[in-house]
Structures are given as structure tokens and as C-alpha cells.
Structure 1
Amino acid sequence: MTATTPGAGAAGATPEGSPLLALEDVHVVLGGHGAPSARAVDGVHLQVRRGEIVALAGESGCGKTTLARTVLGLQRPTSGRVLVDGVELGTSRADLRAWRRRVQLVPQDPTGSLNPRRTVYEAVAEGLRIHRIPAETGRREDDLVAEALERAGLRPAERFVARYPAELSGGQRQRVLIAGALAVGPELLVADEPVSSLDASVRGTILALLLRLRDELGLSVLVVTHDLGLAWNIADRLAVMYLGRVVEAGPTEEVLADPQHPYTQALLSVVPETGRLEPVVLRGEPPDATAIPAGCRFHPRCPALAEGPAAGVDEHLAARCRGEALPLLPPSAGHTAACLLQAAKAEGPGNPAGAPDDG
């Protein structure tokens, strides 16, 4: 299928009810040419609707950054499809340029992302110049820069335009990055650990800003994070990723109030808001996309399998976990989890455990 990215004026061609962004069975294999191949993204379905905040959570090495790069058009999928407004994202320079105006990255490290020799004005104006927005819209560049800064909470803008990054606080630098993203008028922000480098006292204000922008501008946001506490505070839906696959997904409140997958339970156990005194310590090595195990890819580190009979897991079920591949989770089907143990628990004693219908 040959397709192109819909431009900003292509709304009339958008299939009715299509999400802004949809990933369909996306695979990304990295390496090769003598190096071990890494299945960094290994069959992911994901949707982001208009005006929705979706959190993609998991520890380092789970594939979430590679998936974010794929969403941004910086990494081409090995297979699968990236759909924008229901139309497959094209791979030509013109297609990707059009998409990169509609989607903008908010990096996690404002200190490393801002050029210390460039003023705030220059940092925010960069995207405007790349996409030639002043010429296209007939508006003055300085007006567009000021508008973006004020939307990002840097008011009045004239106090900030001539400053350098070293003259700003960490929170103000993060707002400059957000202003730079907003300046081009995107429909989707990809926020990569947007508050991980900030003091706890500042994090809440940046999350509140993202929520306000969603409400005022109708922005969609994909938040990439290792912190389920952040997802709890900001996201409408949550997808938990492990070793290249989404292992649990659904409305954030449902997933975090009743996590079904042992990996989600372990991540949630270290969130202070849960009130849990003893965090779940995962055994074994962190995810390695060059050595994906057979069966459930989480089974080498699964606390329930480690406890075995003490956790109510019989040997037959444990053998299935170690050898039976589970189907992929669908893009949007309520609260779903890819876990044979949870499926067996749901079926109750006396019934053979089957793989969940939706993975």
C-alpha cells in the first residue's frame, strides 16, 4: 500500500472515528551487520486519540524510547504500520516533514537539549524557521515566539526572550522546550520523561501545564516514562511495555487500581502513593532485546513463578509460562493483560488455564 501523510488541511479525508495515531503490529529490529540483532519493538499495537494523554511505561531497555522514535518518524519500522488519521505514514521526505510538524518531541533533559550559546528566543524560533511558519501564516516570528512562551507559562514573554539557559531554573528550561514544541502548532506531543530531571516541587507544575495544554488546545500527548506515579497523575490510558511488547494496557485508573500483570505490579510497588512498604524486587537481569526468552518473556523474572506452589502456581502452568507464546494485546479493548497466571486465576480452580482472548 502506498500512502502519504495527511497534511493539516486533510481533515476531510480522515476516516471517521480514526485515532490521530495508531501503531499496528509494529516491529523494529536494530543491529545486524555482525552485531547481535535486537528486537527492540516486537509487535506493538497502540492508539492515541485526539485530546488524549497516553502513558507508555516500562524500565530501561523495554523498547519505549525506540517506539517513541518510531512515532516521531525518526526510526522506520522493520514491519507493521504507523497510521496517522487512519492513513499509513509515508516514507518520503515530504511525508515525514509534514508529519514532524504535526508531532513534536519534548526531550527529558532541558540542560542537554538547549544550546547554552543561544537565547530563549532562538531556541523557540528554530522550529518556526525549519517549517517556514511565519512566511506561511503571514505572522511575525517574534509574535509567534512570544505566544508560544506564554502558552508554556513563561509570562510575560519579554522577560525571557533574551535570556540564556544558564540564567533559567530547571523548570523554566523545561518550559522553553515545551514552548519550542508548541510554536509550530502540533497536534501530538511526545514527552520523553518530561519531569525526571526536575525537583519534586517543580514536577507537579509541569504536569499541570501538560494537562492544561491538552484541555485548551486539544493536544494529544504520548508520555514516555518509567514512573507509574507520573502516569497515575496525568494519563487517560496506560500501556506497560516489557522487552519490546505491551504486556498490560487500559484506562489508567483501572490498570493501576487493579494491575493484572506481575510486571505492572512490581513497577507499581515502588510508587510511594500506593502505601506499599515492601517493594517487589525483580530477580534476574534487566531486559535484553538480543536474547528474548521463549514463552512469556517476563517469566525469568516473574515473582509468582519464583514462589511456585507458594503462590498457587502448579508446575503445568509454570511450564506453559516458560514455553507458550502469548498473542499480542489489541490496541484498545478495555483493561487487558498478557499473563497466563492471571488468566488461570480469573478462570478459577478446576478449569484449565487458557491464554487470555486478547493476549
Structure 2
Amino acid sequence: MLEAKDLAVEFSSRGRRARAVDGVNLSVGPGEIVALVGESGCGKTTLARTLLGLVRPTSGTVSYDGSPLTYRSKALKAYRRQVQLVLQDPMGSLNPRQTVYEAVAEGPRIHGLADEEQVVASALARAGLRPPERFFLRYPHELSGGQRQRVVIAGALALDPKVLIADEPVASLDASVRGEILALLLRLRDELGLSALVVTHDLGLAWNIADRVAVMYLGRIVESGPTEEVLKAPQHPYTQALLSVLPESPARIVLSGEPPDPTRIPTGCRFHPRCQVVAAGNPIASKCRSDLLPVLPATADPQSACHLTPKLLG
């Protein structure tokens, strides 16, 4: 349904070029949920915005249903009816002066859909706000956090999209309602055949909702594959470090060095300055510092961009 091929996005910063996305191949199949995980600053949100057509790539292509995305206004308008965004902060993404009805009706009005009231009621009902008419005249401050996030999801569903891109969809919610929103996303996948790319730093969320996981570091996918295989037997040292912070992990891995700087991509493996394997003096460390790794392809098979796992390289 949605695919990034050799995608790169660069920004100018005080005379330097920041490679926020640096050669990404990623696909989301029909009815599939893919989790894009990584720490803050790794390029997840920039990649999501590029997939939505909000940022034009420096190179590479975004394709929907096999056709490359073009950036003419008419084409983008049609594309955004099929691929919708769900933001992490419903209080920030909802206009406090708009009622729930107005918030959900905005998309259908822009796209000129008929039977507006029926469309809004159906979207709210599918998002779990029933009876929908009871919420029409309410304002965001009158709703709970979970209800506000359901309104945001309803606003996306009102256009009958095929793909949702959800950026940290439960990060701002209490633990008690996170499970309800995740269950809603799974139900929408099962009932409507929706595909979804879920951007998150929470590996527990990825475990509960995703069919596949893609781990991103410094603008590039460093490991991907079926969720159970990646999270039960991670091959890349970065994935192992991310998983080590979970409560059930036997030992925590503390990464050395500074968080990645997209204006200064290291030579060799881009993770080597912080890698616990290199820090431990592994014999392969010199190769990690000097030898470039290939960009991973968009595939459902397990793969890792690491000199320690050459058999898994794309």
C-alpha cells in the first residue's frame, strides 16, 4: 500500500547539511501494521511527514498502491484522502474553539463529501464514541484524554483512508486508556482492512500492535523483520540496547557517547561510536569504524545492518 524507496531528506542548518533521513526503504502492506521505533532525533517523524507528502524528499520516492507520489496540489489532495495522519497530542491537534462535530467534519468539507452529518456520525461511531450524536456539540476540554484521541482518529476515518500514519498515538495518554486505543487500532485493521505505520519509541507498544518492526537510527533502518523475531532475538546492538530498558530484561545496556548528530554521520557503521560491542573491544571493531554497511531493502524477512550479522544483511 505504501512504500519508501531509497528515501533521503536533508535540511540546511547553519551552513551544514543535516541528513534526517538517509536512504530508507520501507513498505507497509495491505492490512498490515508496521511499527517504526527509535529514540528521539533518529528521523522517525521526518520520515512519517515525508510519507504523508508534507516534506518533499531530497532523493528517492514515496509510492502509494504502486504509483509514485507526485507533488501537484490536486494529486496531493487525492493522496491525503487515502493516507491520513493521527497525531500524538489530541489537545494540541484539536482546535479548542471547535466542537467535536466541526473537528471531524473539516476533512469531509475540504474534499466535498456528501451527507456530512452521516459521515461524521459514522466516523465517531467507528472510533468508539457512541452514540455519536451525544458528542457533536461537545468541546475538547469537556472530553477525557482517551475520548479526545478517539476524536482525532474519527477525523482521519471520516475520509475512509486506506492507510493511517500514527505518530506516538498513545504517548500522551494515561496507562489505563492506552490499551483501549491500541485495541481500537487493531479493530479498525480487522474490520476495515486499514494499514498503519505506527511511529513510537515504545517497544512494548510495538510488541502489542505491530506485525513488523523497523528500528531506525540516525536516519536509517538498522534492523527490521516480524515483530516476534526482532523483539525476542534482536540482532543489532542498538535494538538490544533499546530492549534492555524493558522491566523483564535481564540486564540493562547503557550506551556511551552522545545522541546522534545528523550533521555528522560517522564513518563505517553509524552506530559504532555508541556501540557496546565496539566499546567492549570486539575484534571486529576496526571494521565497524571503517567499513560502510549497505542500505537495507524493503522486505518482510528479518535483516540487520551490522557487521556482526552479515548473513542478515540485505
Q: TM-score range by the shorter chain?
A: over 0.9
**SS of the counterpart of 1:197?**
coil
Instruction: State the 4+ residue runs in structure 1 displaced beyond 4 angstroms.
Output: none
Identity %: 68
Q: How many residues are treated as equivalent by the alignment?
A: 314
The residue that corresponds to 2:25 in the other structure is 45
**Alignment map for 1:1-359 (pairs within 5 Å):** 20-31=1-12, 34-134=14-114, 140-272=115-247, 275-308=248-281, 313-314=282-283, 317-341=284-308, 343=309, 355-356=310-311, 358-359=313-314
Partners in 2 of 1:35 and 1:52 — Cα distance?
Answer: 40
Amino acid at match of 2:280: E
**1:241 alignment partner, SS class:** strand
- Residue 82 of structure 1 deviates from its aligned partner by 1.0
Bigger Rg, structure 1 or 2? 1
Specify the alignment match of 1:4 in structure 2: none
C-alpha displacement of 1:241: 0.2
Counterparts of 2:177 and 2:254, CA distance in 1: 29
**CA contact under 8 A between 1:261 and 1:337: conserved in structure 2?**
yes
In structure 1, stretches of 5+ residues that fail to align are: 1-19, 135-139, 344-354
Could you tell me which runs of 5 or more consecutive residues in structure 2 were left unpaired when the two chains were aligned.
none
TM-score scaled by length of structure 1: 0.86
Letter of the structure 1 residue corresponding to residue 222 of structure 2: V
Answer whether contact 1:192 1:224 (CA < 8 A) is retained: yes
Deviation at 1:277, TM superposition (A): 4.9
Cα deviation, residue 333, structure 1: 4.7
Distance 1:333 1:233 in 2: 18
TM (norm. structure 2) is: 0.98
Aligned letter for 1:302?
C
The offset of 1:77, in angstroms, is 0.8
Query: How far apart are the structure 2 equivalents of 1:127 and 1:271?
Result: 39
Amino acid at match of 2:277: A
- The CA deviation at 1:86 is 1.3
**Secondary structure at 1:213 match in 2:** helix
Q: Contact conserved, 1:104 with 1:188, CA < 8 A, in 2?
A: yes
The secondary structure found in structure 2 opposite 1:284 is coil
Contact 2:8/2:19, CA 8 A, preserved across alignment = yes
Quick check: 2:23–2:220 contact (8 Å CA) kept in 1? yes
Q: Deviations over 1:251-298 (max 9, x none)?
A: 0111001000010011111123xx125421111111110111000000
Residue aligned with 2:177, SS: helix
Question: Is residue 53–residue 222 contact of structure 1 (8 Å, CA) maintained in 2?
Answer: yes
- Structure 1, 331-340 or 276-285: larger mean CA deviation: 276-285
- Is this contact kept in 2: 1:339–1:356, CA < 8 A? no
Q: Which amino acid aligns with 1:332?
A: T
